[in-house]
Structure 1
Amino acid sequence: MQHDFAVRIANRGDLKALINIYPQLQPDDPALALDDAERIWEQISHYPGSGIFVGLVSDILVSTCTLIVVPNLTRGGAPYGLIENVVTHAFHRRQGYGQAVLRAAIASAWNSRCYKVMLLTGSKEPTTLKFYRDVGFEQNKTGFQIRQIPARA
C-alpha cells in the first residue's frame, strides 16, 4: 500500500469518480447521471452512521464500499450494518486498498453500535472469498435474495 493512501467518507465532490469506478463492479449496468447520483448520495447521507467509504491514492479514488446502518428493534435496539458495492479499480487490486476501505466501514459500524455487519457476494472466486475472510467476515449463514434486476453472470 502506498504511503499517500487515505480512507474517508465520500462527499458530493467524489460522485463523478464513484460513477466512473462502479462499472468495474457491474459493467452492464446503465450509466447513472450525476444528478441522480447526487439525489441518491443525499438519501444515503440521511441514514445515521451510513456512508460511502472511499480509498484514495494521491487524491485519486481507487476503492470504495457502501455501509448502511439499519435501525433495529431486536438486540436491545442495536442496529446492524449492510455493506454493498465493494470495488477496487482493476489497476489497484491486491495492494490492500479494498481491505482498508472495508475495515474503515466495519469500524464505523461498530462506532454506530451495530451488533453485526453483513455483506453478500455473488462471486464464487476463491480469491474473492479469501478477500472477505481476510477482513474478518465468516461464511456461516445461509443467504436468500429475491431480485427484480437479474444477477450478473
Structure 2
Amino acid sequence: MDESRLTIRRAIKADIPQLLELYRHLIPGDEQPTEAQAGDAFARFLTYAGSAIFLGELNDVLVASCALVVVPNLTRGAKPFGLIENVVTHSDHRNCGYGRQILDAASESAWASGCYKVMLMTGSQKPSTLSFYLAAGFEQSKTGFQKRRFPVRSEI
C-alpha cells in the first residue's frame, strides 16, 4: 500500500466531468446529470462556507472523493456541524488507504471551519464498509432515519 503518492485538493468546476465518471464507481447505473446541471449544483454547493468536494489524485488520475457540507447551527454555541457524503474510491484503487486519506482531509477541514462534529451515513451493511468507517475514526453511535423520494439503491 503506497499512500504517499495521493494528492488531495478541493474540486473546481473544471473537475466535474472526471468527478461524474468517478461517481459511476459509487452508484453504477445511476442517472447522470448533464454538465450544465452538475455545474449549477456545484455552484450552489459552494454557497455553504467551508463546504468542499475533496479529490484524491494519483498521477493526475482521480481515484477518490468525498463531499463535506458545513451546516450552520444554532445549538452548541452556534458551532456548525459537518456532513460527509458521496464517499467513493475507484474500484481499481480500493484497499490502498485513499478513502481514509480523503475522509481525514474532510474531517480536518471541518475542524478548521469550527465544526463540533462530523457525521456520515451509509446504507451499506457490508462488514468491510462498516469496518472501513470505524478504522477511519468514525463511531457508530447514532440511529439514522431517512425519508426518500427515490428508492434505496441496491448494494454494490
3-state SS of 1:24 partner: coil
CA–CA distance in 1 between the matches of 2:147 and 2:29? Answer: 20
CA RMSD of aligned residues (A): 0.9
**Change beyond 3 A, Cα 1:69–1:43:** same
Cα distance, 1:143 vs structure 2:
0.6
Q: Any stretches of 5+ residues in structure 2 without a counterpart?
A: none
CA–CA distance in 1 between the matches of 2:48 and 2:18? Answer: 22
Cα distance, 1:151 vs structure 2:
0.6
TM-score (structure 2 length as normaliser): 0.95
Q: Cα deviation per residue 1:53-93 (whole Å; 9 max; x = unaligned)?
A: 00000111000000000000000000000000000000000
Cα distance, 1:2 vs structure 2:
4.6
Report 1:87-126 matches (<5 A): 87-126=88-127
**Structure 2 partner of 1:81:** 82
- Structure 1's consecutive aligned runs of 4 or more residues displaced over 3 angstroms after TM superposition are none
Cα distance, 1:140 vs structure 2:
1.0
Report which stretch shifted further, 40-49 or 72-81.
Answer: 40-49
Q: Cα deviation per residue 1:65-124 (whole Å; 9 max; x = unaligned)?
A: 000000000000000000000000000000011100010000000001101100000001
Tell me if structure 1 keeps the 8 A contact 2:64–2:88. yes
Report which stretch shifted further, 62-71 or 8-17.
Answer: 8-17
CA–CA distance in 2 between the matches of 1:137 and 1:57? Answer: 25
Tell me if structure 2 keeps the 8 A contact 1:2–1:57. no
CA–CA distance in 1 between the matches of 2:84 and 2:24? Answer: 18
3-state SS of 1:82 partner: strand
- Aligned identity (percent) is 50
3-state SS of 1:118 partner: strand
Tell me if structure 2 keeps the 8 A contact 1:63–1:98. yes
3-state SS of 1:102 partner: helix
TM-score (structure 1 length as normaliser): 0.97
Tell me if structure 1 keeps the 8 A contact 2:67–2:85. yes
Q: Cα deviation per residue 1:19-66 (whole Å; 9 max; x = unaligned)?
A: 101121111321211111111111111110001000000111000000
CA–CA distance in 2 between the matches of 1:137 and 1:98? Answer: 13
Tell me if structure 2 keeps the 8 A contact 1:7–1:56. yes
Report 1:53-92 matches (<5 A): 53-92=54-93
